[in-house]
Amino acid sequence: MPGIGDADGGRTGGRHILTPRNGAESARGDEFLGQPRGLGVLFASELWERFSYYGMRALLVLYMVEHLLAPERLSEALGLAGLKRALEALSGPLAPQPFASQIYGLYTGLVYLTPILGGLVADRFLGRTRTIALGAAMMAAGHFMMADERLFLIALLLVAFGCGAFKPNVTTQVGELYAAGDARRDRAYSIFYVGINVGAFLAPLVCGTLGETLGWHYGFAAAGVGMAIGLGVYLFGRSCLPGDAPRRQYPVAARGAGTPFRRALFSILLLFPSSALFWAAFEQQGNTIALWAAQFTDRGVDLLGWRTEIPVTWFQAFNPLMIFLLTPPLVAFWARLARTRREPSTLRKLSLGCLGVALSYGVMALAAHASAGDRASWLWLLLYFFMITLSELHFSPITLSLVSRLAPEGSRSALMGVWFTSMFLGNLAAGWIGSFWSSMTRPAFFLMMAGLGLAGAAIVEAARRPLGAAISTER
């Protein structure tokens, strides 16, 4: 079974690509890292969108635990007390930390549920360009509204629904820059993924520092500014992007998709459980891992005899930093293996990604055991982020490329939205699992996370035969 390096090799099947403004593949070609110019526009737009999302995420749990969920403030935020009562009716009394973790899970889960709606709106009604612009504007408004504590839940909803309109359609447009059989598509998604993580790296350094030093609302406002820049970049560069098909074509394409649509949906649903488990463990970074960094980590660093502390939110920059440090050598390593036909298959990479999650949380369990109640060295977190980043590179961009190539035209954004639903389930589970942080020992909690990774790998391996058949049919 071929690996990701040649994911689209030999594939035909009649798919055509909607490319810049006129529906034909751009002859101007390679003007951004050996790729079409439109990839540069999407790279920059996604960079700023992720800057805004991860900037707010770096602060969210800390903001709630240390500020918003204090009894004297909780009642001021519209709907927050009612949400607390509803969650307590299901799980019993909630202290600030478990309540914050559940809000975090609901919010991040909704971010990955709304892409179904965003994909359908783009495929059937507004087209991708208008839907992306609308989503970006909603996100910018939501981030700025975080400055008013009373509008907290409304702001989270705006960001979540805006992200649902933005993310699946930008991701789909990357694939539409390329004709069927263009081997650059998978490399394009790796480049695009670097853009995501450049924004995610800068976000905690800027938004997190402003939030921790000047005040929470300065950090949230910086996230809003980043999203406004992303919207401007996208609108300015839209002439380089794939044009929208006339809306009347969408129902025809959907009816014609038939068996390819069902085959793609079947493949996506087979990967759902492993994806949900992967993200349930991975998304602890902004939740319980942030609390570990704040409460159980010795963050002191000696620089030329000067003792300083790493800000808590800066640890959220470790993962994206390692993404763009590790992506080039990893892609080069895969290319070298591909020349001798030893590159791991797409499905084997997914298994390795899940196993890597298990190992990363094994590291944290060891750190918790070794510290024995004292603060653990921040170097344990560095090792954890190194391992979970390698895991992410074997899982997340690989699945995005896989969904892009499986989805038939006319249903691409909708099926990308369906795929993001697995992340919704994972993030929802991450919030619920995070609520056990206060009631479990740290080693036991981290070993539970490692178990999720092992279960995800086992599910991928169990589904190899039907998945392999479905993927082979699409080639």
Q: CATH code at 422?
A: 1.20.1250.20
Q: For residue 20, what pLDDT is reported?
A: 43
Looking at per-residue pLDDT, the higher value among 423 and 379 belongs to 379
Phi, psi (rounded to 5 degrees) for 308: -140, 170
User: In the 8-state DSSP scheme, what is residue 463?
Assistant: T
- Given a cut of 60, is residue 2 above it in pLDDT? no
Q: Which residues contact 460 (CB under 8 A, 6 or more apart)?
A: 271, 274, 347, 350, 351, 354, 467
Q: For residue 410, what pLDDT is reported?
A: 66
Please tell me whether residue 345 adopts helix, strand or coil conformation: strand
Q: How confident is the model at residue 244 (pLDDT cuts 50, 70, 90)?
A: low
What residues are paired with 242 via a beta bridge?
20
Phi, psi (rounded to 5 degrees) for 311: -60, 145
Q: How confident is the model at residue 141 (pLDDT cuts 50, 70, 90)?
A: very high
Q: How confident is the model at residue 245 (pLDDT cuts 50, 70, 90)?
A: low
Q: How confident is the model at residue 12 (pLDDT cuts 50, 70, 90)?
A: very low
> ∠ CA 221-198-142 to the nearest 5 degrees?
25
Give the torsion sign (CA, 25, 28, 29, 32).
negative
How many domains are there within the chain? 1
Question: Which of 30-34, 253-257, 325-329 is most confident?
Answer: 325-329
pTM beyond 0.85:
no
Q: For residue 10, what pLDDT is reported?
A: 33
Q: Which domain holds residue 277?
A: 4-473
Give the torsion sign (CA, 7, 419, 200, 288).
negative
**What are 426's two structure tokens?**
């994972």
